[in-house]
Amino acid sequence: MPEGHALNKILKDIIVKYKSLRGFRSPYIPGWDCHGLPIEHQLMKEKGWDKRKVGRVPFRQEATRYAEHWIEAQKREFKRLGVLGEWDRPYKTLSPDYEAGIARAFYDLFEKGYVVQDKKPVYWCPTCETALAEAEVEYADKTSTSVFVKFPVVEWPANVALAFHPEGRYRLYESGQTHERFLVGDPGWKLLEEMFGPGKSNAPAVEGLSLEGLVAKNPLNNNDSQGVLAEFVSAEEGTGVVHIAPGHGEDDHVVGKSYGLPVLSPVDDRGRFTPEVLPNDLAGVSVWDANPVIVERLAKAQTLLKEVKITHSYPHCWRCKNPILFRAALQWFLKVGDAFRTALIQSTNHVDWIPEYGQERILGMLRTRPDWCLSRQRYWGTPIPMFLCEQCREPLRDRAVFDRVVAEFEKHGGDVWYEKDAAYFGATTPCAKCGHAGYRKEEDIVDVWFDSGVSWAAVLGRRPETRGTKRTDVMYLEGSDQHRGWFQTSLLPAVALTGEPPFGRVLTHGFVLDGQGRAMSKSLGNVIAPQELIQKYGADIVRLWVAVTDYREDVRLSQDILDRVIDTYRKIRNTLRFLLGNLADFDPGKHARPLNALDPLDAAALGAFNETLEKASRHYDEAAFHLVTATLADSFCINALSEYYLDVRKDVLYCDAPDAPRRRSAQTAFWIIARGLAKVLAPLLSFTAEETWQTLREENRLAPEDNPESVFLNPFPSPVPLTGAPVLAEFLRARRAVNEAIEKARQTGVVKGANDALLPLKVPAGGPLASLDAAALASVLGVAAVQPATAPVDTPEPGAVTVAPGAKCGRCWLWRELTPAGLCARCADAERAAQPA
């Protein structure tokens, strides 16, 4: 499992658990994208199969087994992270009901006119032999040959036109040396002078606009090449004239379409020229191998002016990493027309994007996104459920037939598409276009991004757990690369079919980097596998690492970072252990003190807990988990409890008589805090929280209203109903000042430490400390004794610290007036209470 998966799954789990504790029905149905090239490639390789030789159904069955195997392995890992979900009933895009959902969405889009068949250039991987979508293309540097070819010539055999910029300036250049004449755009003049010396022009310059309709000859095949206008022709570089191949480029296709030029694409699935290519001796040669041949021919024909190597960013296949082609073939597209694009753009305003820049990011992509090529010429996917007229390829439009297809998919999955013929599904009505009554089934499969893109239709609203869920209640949570991927591929079908986005909130997280901000890779040797962390430290350490990081940016993971996480974890764990350990003789039914009878310090601790709850839930609601952790761990468990409250309460817990009201008061607060903390921490430290809960259960220390089965079946704690609880921060402040004074007195040898120190104190009037008598004040400050100070100072003066009267009590080690048995009065009472009556 990569670190990024752990980050993603844990973030989702924290939200699901928090919402559940908050009383929302928050089912998490884990899902798996099962189809696609990675498995297909892997399986073909392992089995030594060839796409052309293996049958579709046997292949699909093997791929299903293969995918199921990986699903089970991943499932175990996600469970081990403590992720709660319907693991026995996940959704899988390979399951019959899901494939039926894909088919249904596809046909609905077809009926509404969004999905059409078209022949236009698409990204094509000649290695994988399939069309690719925008999201499956990676850009990498590639060196290509760029050639400058003599007028009236062009470079590639699929060329049908020459494009001029409509406002470009074109002049006739005549070489002073060779008297050859060239029609070039302004940028080309310099180029020609470099080759043929200073030139002159005997004719006035013309605008590109007037060159529309000019006819030139393609030097490779002598075909006519027509002059057309295109805005994308550069006025700064090159010659000002660009060759156009409408079958091999998006821009070229648009220009070609407006001039009615033929879409020539004489290239086969493997990227080799077909026999239609002219000159046709290139047939069978791959386009990459043909390049130097063509250049050589142009040179021989003396039409090659110049050849330069350029390194540019060129699209490559995401799967096999080879350079790809633009190739026109009949494909299914989800059309993104102007009205639809506007609807998509507007729909983003109805989504809560976290962080906010997510909206700008997806808008940038939506504004320019091309039509979505939905068909793939592969095996491992959901069949495109369309029937095509045997004679004219017109798709059959017939709801009843289609309903039958969906019903069959639901029963048998997509295999049935390949096992039965068109007539079996009822495709027998005459073609609407040509009247022929015979159909063949589409053989292509649906792009896997469409599979996951319709999960809102195939899962939400179909599964009983999610029935009645409003779209606005749905959150999508993925890495920030999914603006380009899943968020977009989900938005398109949803807006087309329902007019609304499929989600109400989209939360993105960054990527996991090492301590120095580098991506993790095997070659750098900086990979930290979550499985190993779980084995070494337990899953809660991985969860806490996720919880303490601000995931909105890229997230760091290194041993140093882990060490800090482990340290925080230990402190939280020790706090919980201390709370539980001091409840050993506490029976809540018998010993819990009423809230209005608590000792002021215990009331203050519960007040601090209330404040923590309020802050933590605010940050949980904002999905700012690093702030939840800072509140719970740093501010509460460490600063308030561990370093102060629990520390000064030790004396009361260990040395007061078991039933002393002050001791029972402290235990009551401990008991409330332990149960509350288990619940608040549960979404983050799920294992530790459950362990705490089960300890409370085994020791009969749950309240009657608590659900003993699991901490997750309890509501998020509500504030402890206190009235006028003192503020813990004031106790803390006083204790810090007292500690400083004692430390200085200790250094000068006046006292040994807090146990023998007497402090003269002037307590601020009206504050929480003012209501305490001297003994109580000494207890909450953790010192031997205090006495009212005369000097008008709020803080103790180091010089005023003296040794407390009396001697060290043999039981509590505080300096007090002692009984003949060597005990202070409190300890003597406690001993008496412990004697059997």
| Binding to Zn ion, residues 680-739 (CB under 5 A) | none
The correct pick among 84, 742, 778, 812 for binding Zn ion (CB under 5 A) is 812
The only residue of 431, 454, 666, 781 in contact with Zn ion, by rule CB under 5 A: 431
Alpha helices in 661-783 (DSSP H): 661-681, 686-698, 728-747, 774-781
Among 89, 433, 536, 570, the residue binding Zn ion under the rule CB under 5 A is: 433
Q: How far apart are CA 385 and CA 401, in angstroms?
A: 10
Q: How far is the CB of 129 from Zn ion (least distance, A)?
A: 8
Shorter beta-carbon distance to Zn ion: residue 396 or 497 = 396
Name which of 135 and 533 has its Cβ closer to Zn ion: 135
Q: Judged by CB under 5 A, does residue 778 bind Zn ion?
A: no
Q: Which is nearer to Zn ion, 734 or 809 (CB)?
A: 809
Cβ proximity to Zn ion, 624 vs 657, nearer residue = 657
- Give me the least distance between CB of 43 and Zn ion, in Å please: 16
* Interface mask toward Zn ion for 119-158; x: CB under 5 A: ------x-xx------------------------------
Residue 394 lies near Zn ion (rule: CB under 5 A):
yes
The least distance separating Zn ion from the CB of residue 419, rounded to whole angstroms, comes to 25
By the rule CB under 5 A, 278 interacts with Zn ion: no
Of 316, 319, 649, 675, the one binding Zn ion by CB under 5 A:
319
Nearer to Zn ion, 136 or 174 (CB): 136
Dist. CA 224–CA 59, nearest whole Å: 47
Q: CA–CA distance from 626 to each of 84, 518, 544, 549, 569 (Å)? A: 21, 22, 9, 5, 14
Question: DSSP assignment, residue 97?
Answer: H
Contact (CB, 8 A) for 30 and 86: yes
The nearest distance, CB 40 to Zn ion, in angstroms, is: 11
| b/e sequence 335-352, b meaning 16+ C-beta within 10 Å | ebeeebeeebeebbeebe
- Measured CA to CA in angstroms, residue 159 lies from 146, 182, 354, 434, 707 at distances of 15, 20, 47, 33, 75
- Residue 824 Cβ, how far from Zn ion at the closest point, in Å? 3
Scanning 499-549, the segments in alpha helix (DSSP H) are 530-537, 539-548
Q: Does 378 bind Zn ion (CB under 5 A)?
A: no
Q: Which two tokens stand for residue 86?
A: 């319907």
Q: Which two tokens stand for residue 408?
A: 């069959």
CB of 136 to Zn ion, least distance (A): 9
804 near Zn ion, rule: CB under 5 A: no
Distance of CA 794 to the CA centre of its chain: 53
Residue 282 touches Zn ion, criterion: CB under 5 A: no
With binding defined as CB under 5 A, does residue 809 bind Zn ion?
Answer: yes
Residue 389 binds Zn ion, judged by CB under 5 A: yes
Strands, E assignment, 384-524: 387-389, 439-441, 445-446, 475-479, 505-509, 512-514
Cα separation, 179 vs 173, in Å, equals 9
* H or E stretch covering 149: strand 137-149
The one segment of 118-126, 147-155, 456-464, 503-511 that binds Zn ion by CB under 5 A = 118-126
CB closer to Zn ion out of 25 and 433: 433
Q: Are 206 and 152 in contact (CB under 8 A)?
A: no
> Which of 254, 293, 320, 791 touches Zn ion (CB under 5 A)?
320
Distance CA(743)–CA(750), nearest Å, equals: 10
Rounded to a whole number of angstroms, the minimum distance from the CB of residue 229 to Zn ion is: 35
Quote the DSSP letter at residue 468.
T
Helices 399-412 and 96-111 pack at an angle, to 10 degrees, of 160
- Residue 125 CB, shortest distance to Zn ion, in Å, is 3
x-or-dash string of contact with Zn ion, 434-473, rule CB under 5 A: x-x-------------------------------------
Q: Which residues bind Zn ion (CB under 5 A)?
A: 125, 127-128, 317, 319-320, 389, 391-392, 394, 431, 433-434, 436, 809, 811-812, 824, 827
